[in-house]
Structure 1
Amino acid sequence: MTARLQTEEFNLLCERLRDGRLDEEEERVMVFLLSERPELTAAYRAHLPRARASILRRLAESLLREDVLGIYSSSVTVLEGGQTWLQVTLDPALDEFLLIPVGRTYAFRRLEVDGEIRHRFGDKVRPLTHPVELLECLEQKEWVEEGLPQREWLQLARELQNGSANLALAFAYAAEQQVHWQGIAAQVEARTSLQLAESLQKLRADFDASLFFEQMCVEGHNLHPGAKTKMGMEPRDVLAYAPEFQGRPRLRWVAISRERAGWSYERGAGEPNAALFAEWPEVAQGVRMEMERLGLDERDYLAVPVHPWQYEHALRDLYRRELTQGIVVPLPGVMTAAGATSSFRTVISDQAGKKARRLAVKVAVNSQMTSTVRSISRQTAYNGPRISALIRSIMAREPQLAGTFVPVCEIAGFYFQPGEEENDPGLQTLKSRNLTAVWREDVSEHVQPGELAIAGIAYYAESPVSGRTVLEELVEAYAQTAGAESAADAARAFFTEYAQIAVPGFLTLLVKYGIGLEGHLQNSVGVFRAGRPQRLLFRDWGGVRISEERLARQGLQVELMPGSVVLTEEVREMQNKVFYTVYQNHLAEIILQLCKKYDLSEASLWQEIRRISDEVFAELLADPQIAEGARADRDALYHRDVLHKALTTMRLSSREDGYSYATVTNPLLYS
C-alpha cells in the first residue's frame, strides 16, 4: 500500500470514529454477540470507551518511553488547570499540536499518561478516544518532518483495533464473572481472591488455584499496547480459548509419520511415543485406540497434541500435501480437556477426578498475539528437555538457591520436519513451526498445602473479589502475618523479601553459568504463604540465552539443535535478556504498583534492589574463576544508560531484524 493510500484509509477510519460509529473490529464482535451471545451485547457496548482508552493510554506511554518521532524529547511541558501536559508539535505551519496529560514519571522513562489526550488545531480542541486517532496524528507528523512515511502506521492501527475490540469483550466478560466470584466469596466468607482461592482449594478437588490467578489478568502484558491483539482469530475463538474468558480448549491430536517427526525426551529417545505412555498414560490409551481404529502402527507414528484453533484453521492449509499422503494423520477421536494459561498457547491439562499427572502443554498457534506469531520452532521443542537437565544439574550445585528459586522443567518436545520436496522456503519454515509441542511440569508440583502459586502477570490484575490488585491483597495478607505497623511498612518489607528470592537466582545463573533467563512476569510464578514470599518458580526456555564459554568454565555443556538462537557468543545479548525482563519488566512493575498504591519512594525501592544486587555480586566476585565475568555484568547492569526493549518501534518497522531498543536512564546508577 502506498503512503497516500495509507493516509486516505486513516482518514476514512478516523472519520468513522468521529461520527460515533464502531470500527470494523468492534462491529465484527458486535455481530457475533448479537448472533451467539446476546446477553453480553449491552455490557460490550458499555465497555468500548474504557477499552479504547486503555489501549490508547498504553500506546501513548509506549510512544513516549521509546521517544518515537521524538515526541518525548521534542515536547514542551505545559502547566494548565493544575495538570501537566506534554505539548507535541504536529504541524507548526498549521498551529497543530497534541496535548498529552502526564502524571508521575517512573524508572526507565515510564511516564504515566493521566487523563484525556487532546488534539489542538488552532483554536479547536478535541479529545482523542481511540488509539487509531493518535496513530493518524503521528503519521501526519512524519509526513511534515520526514516526507514520505516509512513506518507501518496502518499495520499497527489494525492490530490495535483488534486488541481494543477484544479488550472490550474481556471487560464485559470480567464484569459478569465478578458477580459470579463475589457470590461464591460471600458463601465462603472470603474478602480477597487469596482467601477465596485458599477456601476453594479445600472445598473442591477440581479447583486449580494457580490457573485461577493465571486467568485473572484481563488486560494482558503490562507494557505492550498490543496486549490483546489476536490477529486472524474470530470473536468466537477468542471467547472460547483465551485465558481472560476462562478458556477451556480441548486439545486435538495428530499422528506424524516417524520419518518426518522429531522428538526430545530424556528417558526414551528411541521410541516416538515413549513420553506419552510414561507421562500421560490415560491420554495414551485413547491415542492408541484411535491409531488402531485408523490402522496406524504406534511405532511408526508420533502422536502430537494440537491446539483446537490450529487444528481447525491451520492444519489443512499448511499440511495439505502431508495429509493427502498420510504423513500427517488427524486423530479425530481423541480430545484432551485443558485450561488456558496467561500465555494462551500454553494450556494445563484437566485431569479433574483422576490421579493422572497434570501437564502444561505449549502448542503452536499460527496467530499474531502482541508482537509475535505464536508458532514454535523445532529448536525450542528439541532443546527444552536438554536445558531442563542442565538447569537441574546447576541447581544441584547451588543448594542455597534451590529451595527458593525453582525451575519448572520441560519434559518433552515434539515437532514436524519438512521433507526435501518442499522447495518453498517460506512454507518450509511455516511447516516446521506449526506442528510443534512442548510438555512442561505443572506449577502445582512445586506448591505445598497452604501455599498459593501466583503468576507474576496476575500481580497487577484486579481481584474479582475485592476490586484491588492481587499485589495489594498480598501486601495486606503479609501485613497481618508479619505484624507490620502500617501498610507502607508491609509493602516495603514484602518487596524486600520478594527481591531477596528473585535477584540472587537470576544473577547467579547469568554470571556464574552464562544462562540469561527470560524472567518477565509471565514466566515467573511467586509462591506465597499467608502473603509471605516462599519461592519463585521460573519457566519457559524458549527465550533464554546461554554462553557456552561460561558454561564450560563450570565444566558443563549442553547439546542443542544446530541453528538455535539460544546459544550466543554475545555477552551483551545475554545481559540484556536478564536486565530487561527481570529488572525493567518484572521488578520495575512491582515497584511501580507499590509506589502508586502506598506512596512509597521509588528511589528507596531501587536502592534496595541495588543493595541486594551488590551482595550477590560481592559473593560472585570472590570466586576468581568468574570474577572477570561478574565485573562485566555488574558494570553493564549499573551503567548510566540502559537499553529498554522498544515494543512499539518494532511493530512500526517493516523489517524483521531482531529487537529494537530505546536508551533510558538507569535507576540503579543513583541507588
Structure 2
Amino acid sequence: MNSIAAQSMFQQFEEADYLCRRVLDALLREDVQNLVSHSHWFSAESVPFRRQLPGKLKKCQWLAARHLSGGCLWLAVKPGSFMQSWVLHDLPVCWESAGRYQWLDDLENILGLFYQALNGEARQRFEAFAEECKVAVEHSIICRQEKQRYFNACQMQSYTGSAPIWLQHLLHYERLAAFLDHPFYPTARAKLGFDADDLAAYSPEFQNAFRLNWLAVPKAICRRHGNIATTGILPDFSDLGLDPSHADSHELLPVHPFMWGERLHTLLRDHGLLNRVLLAPKTALEVVPTLSVRTVQLCNQPRVHLKLPLAIRTLGGMNIRTIKPSTIEDGHTVQTLLGKIIQDEPKLRGLVLLTDESRGLTAAESASFGYIVRQYPNAIEHGTTVAVAGLLAETPKRNLVVEQLVEFYFDDDKDFLEAYLDITLRLHLTLWLRYGIALESNQQNSLLVVQQEEPRLRLLLKDNDAPRIYPAMLATSRPDLAEALERLVDRRILAENELALAQMFTTITLQLNITSLLEGLAATGKRRRDTFYRQLHAKITEVLDDLEGEGVNTRSARDYLLESEWHYLKLLLTAATLQGKHNTGAADVNKYYGKTAPNRLRQL
C-alpha cells in the first residue's frame, strides 16, 4: 500500500470515529428511542463482560439499553454538564445478544441496532440518517483536505490583492467558520445533494467564485418586493443573450448553477412552466458562496448578498434550503419592527445593526423560484466582521478566531466577553421580557463588527424571518408596533404564550451563541470553566436587574434561567431527521424541544 492510500484510509477511519462519537452523544442528548430514560446503570465492576473490558473502559459507568429489540446495547458513559447529563466515555460499545458479546466501533453497525426492529417510515428515516452519516464522513475528508491546503497557502503569504482589508478579513473569517462543525447537529458537515465536485464548486469551504444563470419569467406570475432596480444586480436582457423586447413582459430571476439543467427542468415541469419561461443562454453576476451555502456574495458589490433556493438539505434530512414566498415579507416586517425598537432603546441604539432585506422577488408562488437581496450596512467597511459561528474556528496560526479578536481589539478574553455578553444579553432579554420577541438569530445570523474605536463591538443581525412573537406582550408594551403583526404571512411566528420565547432564547441565544462559546474558551485551558459561567451569571443578573429597575417583570425569566434545574434544548436530530411532524407534533422542525439540559448557571 502506498503512502497516499494509507493516508486516505487513516483519514476515513479518523473522520468515521469522530462522527460516531458525535452521533452517540446526540442520541444520548435527545434520548432517542429512550436510550437514557429507559436504560439501567452499572459500574465497570458489575457488568457481565468485565473480564473482557479494554483498559480504557475499566473505570467508567455503563448504560445498559435492554429495551432495544434483539439484545442489550452497552455504552461506556460519563456524567456531562453541558446540554446533557450523560456523554459517551469512549468506544467501543458492546452488543449483548443470546449470551454473546460483540464489540462495535463502527457507526453503521451501531445505528443498525436502533432500527433493526423498525418498519415502514420509522425504519426508512433511520436508514436515511445512516446514509447521511456516510455523506458527512465523505464531505469531512474533502473539507479537511481543503482546510489544510488553505492553511498552507495562508502560511506562505500575507493578505494581498486589490480587495479592501475589511473584505479580505470578511472572506477569510467566513471560510474559517465553514471549516468548523455545528456544536450539536452531528452530521452538519453533510450537504445532502452535493457530490464532491459540487462541494468544491459551490461550498464556502472552497470559496470559489462562479456566475449565476438566469430565467426570464412572465411578470404575471411574479411578485416584486421593494425597488430591485436600485440594487444594481439585474443584467440587461441583451447581456444574457435574450431579446430586449422581453423586458416589458418578463422579470429576470437568478438561478444557482447547481439548479441549472435537469433539476431546473424538473421543477419547471412540475410547476407547469416549461413553455412559459425563457432560459438565458448566457450567465451573469459573479458571486462567491457564504456560510449558509445558498446565500452568495456579489464579487463587485460585496455588501450585497443574494439568497437563492437550493435543493440541498443541511442540518437534517427535512431541512431543504428553498425560500418560502412568505420569507421576504415576514423578514422585512420583523426587521422593520426591530429597527424601531432598537432606535427607542438607548442601551441598544448604535450597538445593534441590521441588514436590509426588503427587496426580492417570488415567482409562481413557489419556494423554488425567487430570491432575496440582502444589503449589509456601511459599518462593516470600517471594522472586522465575524459570524458568531466562526468564533471557535481554528486559524492558520493554530489559535482560535476569538483569540485573534481578543489579541487585536481587547485587553483579554474577559474584556471581550464583557462586551459580547452585554450587547447579546441586553438585546435578547429586552426583546423577550419587554416586547415579547425571541429571535432565531443563530450563529450564522449573528455577526460581530469589531474595531479599535468605540464602540469596539457591535452586533449585526440578518435573516430574521422566523422569530417567535407573543402578541399580548408586544401589545402591552408597544401597541403601535403590535399592529404590524397582522401583516405576518407565516402565522407560526405568533406564539400562544411566553414559553415559546423562553425556549427560543435558551436554545439559540444562550446555548448556541453563548455557552457553546464559553465551552470552547474553557477548552483552551486558559481559565477554569466556572469562571466563564460566573461571568455569564453576573451579566444575566445585571441585565435583569436593569430591566426590573425600568419596570419590566423579570421574575419568571430569573427563576427559569438561574434557578431551574433543567433548561430546554432543541431536539433537531429527532425532528429534522428521525421523526416526521406527525409524530413530534412540531409545526417547525427547527423548534421542537425537550427539557433535559442541565442548568450550569444553577449549579454555581
**Contact 1:345 1:374 survives alignment (8 Å):** yes
In 1, Cα distance between equivalents of 2:519 and 2:533: 11
1:666 and 2:599 matched = yes
User: Could you list the per-position Cα deviations for residues 558-598 of structure 1 after superposition, in whole angstroms to 9, with x for gaps in the alignment?
Assistant: 25343443233332223322221010111111111111112
C-alpha displacement of 1:242: 1.0
SS at structure 2 position matched to 1:411: strand
Change (3 A) 1:565 1:331: farther
* CA spacing shift, 1:348–1:494, aligned 2, 3 Å: same
Q: What is the identity, as a one-letter code, of the residue corresponding to 2:390?
A: A
Q: Please say if 1:108 is aligned against 2:83.
A: yes
Matches of 2:437 and 2:4 in 1, distance apart? 47
Q: Does 1:133 align with 2:109?
A: yes
How far apart in 2 are the matches of 1:110 and 1:457? 25
* 3-state SS of paired residue (1:293): coil
1:85–1:509 distance in 2 versus 1, CA, 3 Å: same
Question: 1: distance between equivalents of 2:112 and 2:223?
Answer: 47
Aligned residue in 2 for 1:12: none
Task: Check the 8 A contact 1:363/1:438 in 2, yes or no.
Answer: yes
1:65-109, Cα deviation, whole Å (9 max, x unpaired): 11223333435354584655442335599885433354x723321
Partner of 2:197: 236
Residue from 382, 390, 406 that aligns with 1:458: 390
Conservation of the 8 A alpha-carbon contact between 1:163 and 1:227: yes
Cα 1:294–1:240 shift into 2, 3 Å:
same
User: Distance in 1 between the 2:385 and 2:349 partners?
Assistant: 17
Query: Which of 361, 373, 380 lines up with 1:414 in the alignment?
Result: 361
Aligned to 1:99: 75
Match of 1:425 in 2: none
Per-residue CA deviations over 1:224-246 (Å, capped at 9, x if unaligned) read 11202222333211221111122
Equivalent position to 2:289, from 316, 336, 340: 340
1:459 maps to amino acid: L
Counterpart-to-counterpart distance in 2, 1:511 and 1:164: 42
Is 1:209 aligned to 2:169, yes or no?
A: yes
Distance 1:496 1:563, change over 3 A: closer
In structure 1, how many angstroms separate the alpha carbons of the residues matched to 2:112 and 2:203? Answer: 30
Q: Which residue of 2 aligns with 1:446?
A: 379
- Contact (CA 8 Å) 2:181, 2:189: kept in 1 or not? yes
> Equivalent of 2:230, from 278, 286, 306?
278
Correspondence for 1:390 among 324, 337, 341: 337
Q: Distance in 2 between matches of 1:42 and 1:261?
A: 55
Contact 1:287 1:331 in 2 (8 A): no
Whether 1:525 and 2:447 are equivalent positions in the alignment is: yes
Offset of residue 111 of structure 1: 5.3
Q: Give the Cα separation in 1 of the matches to 2:147 and 2:5.
A: 14
Q: Does the 8 Å contact 1:151/1:653 carry over to 2? A: no
Q: CA 1:100–1:247 in structure 2 vs 1: closer, same or farther (change >3 Å)?
A: farther
Deviations 1:627-656 (A, max 9, x none): 34x444444444332220112222211335
1:300 matched to 2:249: yes
Give the deviation of 1:417 after TM superposition: 2.9
The alpha-carbon deviation at position 204 of structure 1 amounts to 5.7
Gaps of 5+ in 2: 45-52
SS in 2 for 1:108: coil
Q: Give the number of aligned pairs.
A: 571
Distance 1:374 1:302 in 2: 23
Specify the alignment match of 2:22 in structure 1.
58
Q: Secondary structure at the match of 2:214?
A: strand
Residue identity in the other structure for 1:211:
L
TM-score, normalised to structure 2, is: 0.85
Q: Residues of 2 paired with 1:503 and 1:202: CA distance?
A: 38
Distance 1:264 1:560 in 2: 14
Question: Which of these residues, 644, 656, 659, is aligned with residue 569 of structure 2?
Answer: 644
- Aligned-partner SS, 1:525: strand
1:508 and 2:423 are equivalent in the alignment: no
- Please give the alpha-carbon distance, in whole angstroms, between the structure 2 residues aligned to 1:100 and 1:631: 40
**Contact kept? 1:264, 1:383, Cα under 8 Å:** no
Whether 1:174 aligns to 2:147 is yes
**In 2: Cα distance, 1:572 partner to 1:584 partner:** 17
Q: CA deviation at 1:165?
A: 1.2
- How do residues 620-659 of structure 1 correspond to structure 2 at under 5 angstroms? 620-624=547-551, 627-628=552-553, 630-638=554-562, 639-650=564-575, 651-655=577-581, 657-658=585-586, 659=591
Q: Is the 8 A contact 1:415 1:436 kept in 2?
A: yes
Asked if 2 retains the 8 angstrom alpha-carbon contact of 1:456 and 1:525, the reply is yes
**Cα gap change, 1:533 to 1:332, in 2 (>3 Å):** farther
Q: Summarize the Cα distance change of 1:127–1:236 in structure 2 as closer, same or farther, 3 Å threshold.
A: same
Alpha-carbon distance, 1:46 to partner: 4.3
Contact 1:382 1:413 in 2 (8 A): no
Structure 1 position 76 matched with structure 2 position 41: yes
Structure 1 pair 515/96, CA: closer, same or farther in 2 (3 Å)? closer
8 A Cα contact 1:98 1:118, kept in partner: yes
1:101/1:117 contact within 8 Å kept: no
How much is the aligned-residue C-alpha RMSD, in angstroms? 3.3
3-state DSSP of counterpart to 2:414:
helix
Q: Kindly provide the amino acid, as one letter, of the partner of residue 447 in structure 1.
A: I
SS state of the match for residue 88, structure 1? strand
Give the C-alpha shift of residue 537 in structure 1.
1.4
Question: What's the CA shift string for 1:412-461, capped at 9, x where partnerless?
Answer: 1321234xxxxxxxxxxxxx111121111236x32254x32111111222
Paired amino acid for 2:373: W
Q: 2:161 and 2:447 mapped to 1: Cα distance?
A: 18
Distance in 2 separating the partners of 1:105 and 1:212:
34
Within 5 Å, give how 1:205-604 maps onto structure 2. Answer: 207-216=167-176, 217-265=178-226, 274-275=227-228, 277-280=229-232, 283-284=233-234, 286-290=235-239, 293-320=242-269, 322-326=272-276, 328-351=277-300, 356=301, 358-371=303-316, 372-418=319-365, 432-442=366-376, 445-449=378-382, 451-463=383-395, 465-477=396-408, 482=411, 490-529=412-451, 534-552=457-475, 553-554=477-478, 555-556=480-481, 557-558=483-484, 560-598=487-525, 600-604=527-531
Name the amino acid aligned to 1:567: L
Q: Distance in 1 between matches of 2:375 and 2:121?
A: 51
Q: Take 2:17 and 2:567, find their aligned partners in 1: how far apart are those partners? A: 30
Distance of 2:161 and 2:497 partners within structure 1: 46
Q: Normalising to structure 1: TM-score of the pair?
A: 0.77
Alpha-carbon offset, residue 504 of structure 1: 0.4
8 A Cα contact 2:571 2:594, kept in partner: yes
Give the match for residue 271 of structure 1.
none
Amino acid at match of 1:511: L
Q: Secondary structure, in 3 states, of the residue corresponding to 1:337?
A: strand
**Residue 155 of structure 1 aligns with which residue?**
128
Name structure 1 gaps, 5 residues minimum: 1-38, 189-198, 266-273, 419-431, 483-489
For residues 540 and 114 of structure 2, what CA distance do their matches in structure 1 show?
40
Identity percentage of aligned residues? 21
Distance 2:514 2:444 in 1: 12
* Counterparts of 1:586 and 1:366, CA distance in 2: 27
| Of 468-477 and 369-378, the range deviating more from structure 2 | 468-477
Q: 1:119 aligns to what SS in structure 2? A: strand
Q: Contact 2:166/2:381 (CA < 8 Å) preserved in 1?
A: no
Following TM superposition, by how much is the alpha carbon of 1:499 offset from its aligned partner in structure 2, in angstroms? 0.7
